[in-house]
A = this chain, B = another copy of it.
Amino acid sequence: MYIVIMAGGRGTRFWPLSKGSLPKQLLKLINNRTMLQLTVERVIPVAKPENIFIVTNIDHAKEVSRQLPFIPKKNILQEPIGKNTAACIGLSAIYINRIDPNGKMIVLPSDHYITDPVNLKKLLISIDQSLDEMDYLFTIGFKPTYPETGYGYIQTGEKIKKTGSHQIYKVKNFVEKPDLETAKKYFKNKAFLWNSGIFGWKVETILKEIKKFLPSLFRGLQEIDTSLGKPQAFKVIKKVYGSFENISIDYGVMEKSSKIAIIPAQIHWKDVGSWNSLEEFLKKDSMNNAIAGKSVLIDTKNSIIFGTDQLIAALGVKDLIIVQAGGVVFVCHKKRSQEVKRIISALEERNLKDYL
């Protein structure tokens, strides 16, 4: 089994921890490990390091390698520019195809937090078994635990078969992030699952489907394939990537292919997208404060306290996010954490680049 971890994301929503443009998957957000390290640790029980591939932006390849010293350098695939998941998956597929044209690959995002790695391991094994039995493009749907409006949903169709403890369904429909009312309906209706961004397929099958539905991407990938191992390889990748369409694998392939199926899984999972979303993964005190780092809190409640090298002391406050990192103190109302980009814009305007 080959594992592909998509770690190409950029992003500043965890500023000031993300200072120096480190994207969230490379930050130590939880348990003093980066999201990428945690992701790799979760797949190590089912895959050898030489079968694990990381796709990342060229700017972050060195940092990825530093964080994962046991992953062979050649398995860290560098994108010159982010072009969404179809290109990222296509690139990794041609690398794996050269090693093992009959290989099975499982694709995972690097910015998810999963608290029950044992269930994930079972799921990965189920995907692997299912691929031996059925030549499908599998997508994984997580059973919703509340009506989340921030995720896409997949509606399951009829049952296909059972593998291990996992029931496989046809996919009826992919749906975009819903409003709250719709999310509540989806939550009641057990047929709707969270789109996890986890996929499994044979490498030859995904390449075949890319050829069918994204022919220009496929031609580009072939051009890259021809260049691999030659001195000009990255030059070719750079040129070809420039021409790639920015399209997701869901939209570009999964929603069009007739060979798709969905495996529902019960996994405690969260897309860690902002300071606010960290709350449930940090240590909690009796006043419902979520805490990382050294702190002294008095009459302080419902706050997220995230210190790196300095002590954070709070007195008589609530519903705040207090972050100290990289020479910066950031204090924000919990409801406003999505707006951290406004701070970054202000810093850019004032040319305070040291803090970006």
B336 and A315 within 8 A (CB): yes
Q: Given A296-B346, A343-B298, is A329 in contact with B324 using a C-beta cutoff of 8 Å?
A: yes
Complex: A332 Cα to B298 Cα, angstroms: 9
Name the B residues within 8 Å of A315 (CB-CB): 330-333, 336, 339-340, 342-343
Tell me if A213 counts as interface (CB < 8 A to partner B). Answer: no
Name the B residues within 8 Å of A330 (CB-CB): 313-315
Tell me if A355 counts as interface (CB < 8 A to partner B). Answer: yes
Q: How far is the CB of A41 from chain B (nearest CB, A)?
A: 31
Tell me if A335 counts as interface (CB < 8 A to partner B). Answer: yes
Tell me if A180 counts as interface (CB < 8 A to partner B). Answer: no
Q: Given A310-B328, A310-B329, A350-B296, is A317 in contact with B320 using a C-beta cutoff of 8 Å?
A: yes
Name the B residues within 8 Å of A333 (CB-CB): 315-317
B316 and A346 within 8 A (CB): no
Tell me if A322 counts as interface (CB < 8 A to partner B). Answer: yes
Tell me if A312 counts as interface (CB < 8 A to partner B). Answer: yes
Name the B residues within 8 Å of A350 (CB-CB): 296
Complex: A355 Cα to B313 Cα, angstroms: 10
B296 and A317 within 8 A (CB): no
Complex: A251 Cα to B355 Cα, angstroms: 54
Tell me if A23 counts as interface (CB < 8 A to partner B). Answer: no
Name the B residues within 8 Å of A322 (CB-CB): 329, 331
A331 and B313 within 8 A (CB): yes
Tell me if A311 counts as interface (CB < 8 A to partner B). Answer: yes
B310 and A346 within 8 A (CB): no
CB-CB contacts below 8 Å: A280-323 with B: 294, 296, 298-299, 307, 309-317, 320, 322
Name the B residues within 8 Å of A335 (CB-CB): 316
Name the B residues within 8 Å of A317 (CB-CB): 320, 331-333
Tell me if A327 counts as interface (CB < 8 A to partner B). Answer: yes
Tell me if A347 counts as interface (CB < 8 A to partner B). Answer: yes
Q: Given A317-B320, A322-B331, A331-B322, is A342 in contact with B312 using a C-beta cutoff of 8 Å?
A: no
Complex: A311 Cα to B16 Cα, angstroms: 10
Tell me if A160 counts as interface (CB < 8 A to partner B). Answer: no
Complex: A317 Cα to B347 Cα, angstroms: 18
- Chain B, Cβ-Cβ closest to A299: B336
Tell me if A99 counts as interface (CB < 8 A to partner B). Answer: no
CB-CB contacts below 8 Å: A238-294 with B: 294
Our pick among B307, B310, B339 for the contact of A298 (Cβ within 8 Å) is B339
- Chain B, Cβ-Cβ closest to A328: B311
A312 and B331 within 8 A (CB): yes
Name the B residues within 8 Å of A312 (CB-CB): 328-329, 331
- Which 10 residue pairs across A and B have the least CB separation, nearest first? A316-B336, A316-B333, A315-B332, A314-B331, A313-B330, A312-B329, A311-B328, A313-B343, A296-B346, A324-B329
